[in-house]
Copies of this chain bind each other. A is one copy, B any other.
Amino acid sequence: MSKFRLHLCAGLAVLALTGQAAAATPPKAAPAAAAQVPPLFAATLAKSRAFVDPQLRKTIDVPVPADAGGGYTHERHKDNYRLIYEAGMLYRQTGDKAYADLVKRVLLDYAKLYPSLPPHPKRANQKPGRLFWQVLNDSVWLVNSIQGYEAVKDAIPATDRATIEAGVFRPMAAFLSTGSASTFDSIHNHGTWALAAVGMTGYAIGDQGLVKQALYGLDGSGKSGFYRQLDELFSPDGYYAEGPYYQRYALSPFLLFAQSIQRHEPSRKILDYRDGVLRKAVYANLQQSYAGLLFPINDAIRDKGIDTPELVHGVAVTYAVTHDPALLSIAVQQNAVVLSPEGLEVAAAIARGEAKPFPFASMKLRDGAKGDKGALVILRSGPKAKDQALVFKATSQGMGHGHFDKLSWQFYDAGREVLTDYGAARFLNVEAKAGGRYLPENDSWAQQTVSHNTLVVDEKSQFGADADIGEAHWPTILAFDVKDGIQMTAATIEDAWPGVRYRRAMALINRPETGRPIVLDLVRAEGGGKHRFDLPLHYAGQIVDSGLKFQGGTSELKPLGKAYGYQHLWDRGRAPVKGAGRVAWFNEGRFYDYVFASTDVDQAVLTELGANDPDYNLRNERAVILRGDERDGFVLAGVLEAHGSYSAAEEYARDTIAAVKAVERVSENGADLVTIRLSSGKTLTIGVSWDPDPAKRHRVMTPGGAYAWTGFSGLAVREQ
């Protein structure tokens, strides 16, 4: 499935946003008096100068391309585009001609070198570039360099300009467009980089033909090109099918080209195109984070946060249009701005104290170009960064970087992960771990269903772990609404396993009965014969006694299974379950209780990750799996409660007793009624009809009387 993967160029793509004024030449800021420079901008300026200034008097090597990623010529050409870009920005900011001279000097060397270059000698499976082993890196080179050139070109003599444009920019734009037609016209992130490079070059050197190719594709029909990519690559809500980790990378060329269009052809109102989809994508990316880190869904590096350079640019471009003060608080967290007029504007507004907290919100981010391929649902207990967040993943597969994790969830509380997603099995840039590439365990563990907080049927991953089949199926969202203090969402997926219908409803409940928010989890699977059902909870923390009697896993450990990720789980002990149970753990001052009722669970299995891991690539994380065997179906109602506070400094533990005592569930005509019994003696009764019709009345009979509600779900009221 690696052919679907978006290949990151090995290293940092330095990005720039140019001014959005109508002038065809970027506005040159007057050299600001030091005292007036807002602190965040001053810090960015100083950092950039520390990189560029020592090189002002040096000879900059422009070597004949020879090496693949990581090698000397590769890294040198990367450093060079960063230098061209940053020197250009510094010239614009300071007016110091030395920066313009540096850009000119380096580009004249490229003009000498480039025309003679053959396809890169280290080309491999990827489409080859000329400066780099894959053409993607050539696109990134041009996106950066053209910005540096555009910023200084007024300060370069006309003959040198002609030499540079004829020697580098025109042939490179030709190579990336007509010379790499299949990439350029593809509806894919690599295509975005190529057309951004070509389009930005067109504006910078005054070639409207290049601009038109970039906007409408090589044949000018609009079947490819930038508009088409804006139509296809984001959902109407700004969701990107590969998830937030790749979204922030994919956003870069979109934002950069959009800024260029806005500056040269403001009448296109590109940032308003498709109901402002680009701005939505920036907000959607920020919303898909907790405590500064992106939700680690799909192939994600877990420590990637909203401080990534791409989102620093995202904030700058979006703020320039919306002046939304909430974006300023994101910039404060990022502790960085872009070296551009927009970055200056952000820094100045922060210095004026205009930042407002970013309002994290519950939302449904529809997936698919038309918004019809499921959704990522985020439920939050409040707008603050440390309020609880529940992430319900009912999206499409997300191509080769997607995981087989439909209807899985993650949960965050008090600034920490509670129920986790493993993310990608990869140590990015760590040479000693498979050269920093994806590890074999990414396929064998991280992408498999059992590595997620979702149901597993017969110890097999969804769609048999076949990404092509996965790509052809997606969940249907059944509910997303708020009523009576209950934020409810639900989805269904068919045929993730042959003949099995799998539905899940999840709610974040914040009502006076409990005194704190709790999570309702209602799982239903049926069809396709007798099955083994496994429902894992990947928890962070240390298990505490909650009545389950675990046996085994003390004097010997064996893998829990043979394939689909089970081969990586050590069986740390099993406890019999009869109808109901409670799993509890403790983590950094908070207690977590998952109380469940299910006649389809026989046992709880504790696992630890690390079996069949000869290179010690896996983290030793723990899970509990609720397992039922030989069942026609699987129905479970669970409640997760976060409670307690614990201070090591002051040696106290408070609220260590859970509010939720038990969960019960009865069904009638396919509707479920869940009763949550509280320690206080109160109860909370919630009906889930699974029927999206908002007007339909539902009724379930219990030994204690009949309960009724209206719509998909609701607080159920006892009939008199």
Contacts and interface: CB of A to CB of B under 8 A. Distances in A.
B554 A570 contact: no
A653 B550 CA distance: 43
A556 B554 contact: no
> Is chain A's binding surface mostly helix, strand, loop or mixed?
loop
Contact of A586 (B432, B554, B650): B432
**Among A430, A436, A550, A588, residue most surrounded by chain B Cβ atoms (within 10 Å):** A430
**Among A309, A432, A555, residue most surrounded by chain B Cβ atoms (within 10 Å):** A432
Given A555-B612, A556-B556, A616-B550, A430 B12 contact: no
A614 B608 CA distance: 14
Interface in A333-359: none
B554 A650 contact: no
B428 A301 contact: no
B586 A430 contact: yes
Interface string A460-471: 000000000000
B646 A620 contact: no
A606 B606 CA distance: 22
Given A305-B649, A616-B542, A608 B611 contact: no
A556 B555 contact: no
A253 B402 CA distance: 60
Given A12-B650, A301-B648, A432-B545, 10 more contacts: A11-B651, A309-B649, A429-B646, A429-B652, A432-B544, A554-B612, A554-B614, A555-B559, A556-B557, A557-B611
Interface string A171-201: 0000000000000000000000000000000
B586 A651 contact: no
Nearest to A559: B555
B616 A543 contact: yes
A154 B573 CA distance: 65
Contacts of A429: 646, 651-653, 656
A619 interface: yes
12 contacts: A12-B650, A301-B648, A307-B649, A309-B649, A432-B584, A432-B586, A543-B616, A550-B616, A554-B614, A555-B612, A556-B557, A557-B611
A614 B550 contact: yes
A613 B572 CA distance: 10
Contacts of A650: 12, 308-309
Contacts of A613: 554
Given A304-B649, A432-B586, A650-B12, A557 B557 contact: yes
B608 A610 contact: yes
Interface in A105-124: none
A606 B429 CA distance: 24
Question: Which 4 pairs show the lowest CB-CB distances between chains A and B?
Answer: A429-B653, A432-B544, A303-B648, A557-B557
A12 B652 contact: yes
Interface in A539-596: 542-546, 550, 554-559, 570, 572-573, 584, 586, 588
Interface string A362-404: 0000000000000000000000000000000000000000000
A616 B584 CA distance: 12
B556 A436 contact: no
Nearest to A312: B649
Chain A's interface size range is 35 or more
A667 to B, nearest CB: 33
Interface string A600-621: 0000001010111111110110
B542 A570 contact: no
A215 to B, nearest CB: 30
Interface in A294-309: 301, 303-305, 307-309
Nearest to A568: B554
A619 B542 contact: yes
A654 to B, nearest CB: 9
Nearest to A551: B614
Nearest to A545: B432
Contacts of A544: 427, 430, 432-433
A592 B652 CA distance: 36
Contacts of A301: 648
A541 to B, nearest CB: 10
B436 A653 contact: yes
Interface in A22-48: none
Contacts of A546: 432
